[in-house]
Structure 1
């Protein structure tokens, strides 16, 4: 049995959070600055409760922070966890670039 480290679990949560198009759109909205839950929900054709559930997934992954100011919940983007996902993806990007370069070299050698 393969044991997962806390880093692996973080990556799982991050990629799960990024897997849904509404959650990606919410992150893009928050890249422009903090917004209330109702402001985040406005452009989406889903209920406020559904947006709240999406925000909870983002919060659990560490991608947003939510502060309560009276009756208003204001969300802030926390992009730091995305660096772990970017690092993981970059490692595989380098791997595939190397494989494609090797394939190109092999094909060039066959042509000669």
Structure 2
């Protein structure tokens, strides 16, 4: 039986933070040690570890020990549920609000003013 998909609320909450999105972008390149993930950020290693924990809990990354270091790996498949949910909204054509406004004006135009 496959592992349960992460909760969409938890997934989107993890993605809501710009630091966590930046971490995911960094991990697109390759697996990274936690210390390397933390290097570009002006925050403590403990703060980065909390961000990584949130990403791991949402299933967006996995972490493993390699010797004395903890490594982080992007788990791109974890976005599948969110992608599927968002694609459901793609079935609607975008609305041109200017055309819609002209339609409404034509529909509700005073018939007496056109005489």
Report the structure, 1 or 2, having the larger helix content: 1
Q: How many residues align structurally?
A: 104
SS across alignment from 2:84 = helix
For structure 2, list consecutive stretches of 5 or more residues without a partner in the other structure.
107-115
Pair member with larger Rg: 2
Q: TM-score scaled to structure 1, two decimals?
A: 0.79
Question: CA-to-partner distance for each residue in 1:33-53, whole Å, 9 max, x for gaps?
Answer: 100000000001111000000
Within a 5 Å distance, the mapping from 1:57-96 to structure 2 comes to: 57-95=54-92
Matches within 5 A, 1:91-106: 91-95=88-92, 97=93, 100=95, 104=99
Alignment partner, residue 25 of structure 1: 22
Provide closer, same or farther for how the CA distance between residues 66 and 88 of structure 1 changes in structure 2, counting only shifts above 3 A.
same
Structure 1 unaligned runs (5+)? 1-5
RMSD across aligned positions (CA): 2.5
Q: After superposition, give the CA deviation of every residue in 1:4-44 in whole Å (9 maximum; x if it has no partner).
A: xx76x611111010010000000000000100000000001
**Structure 1 residue 94: Cα displacement:** 2.9
48, 52, 55: which one aligns with 2:49: 52
Greater displacement, 74-83 / 86-95: 86-95
Query: So what's the TM-score if we normalise by structure 2?
Result: 0.77
Query: Paired residue for 1:16, among 3, 9, 13?
Result: 13
Inter-partner Cα distance in structure 2 for 1:61 and 1:17: 7
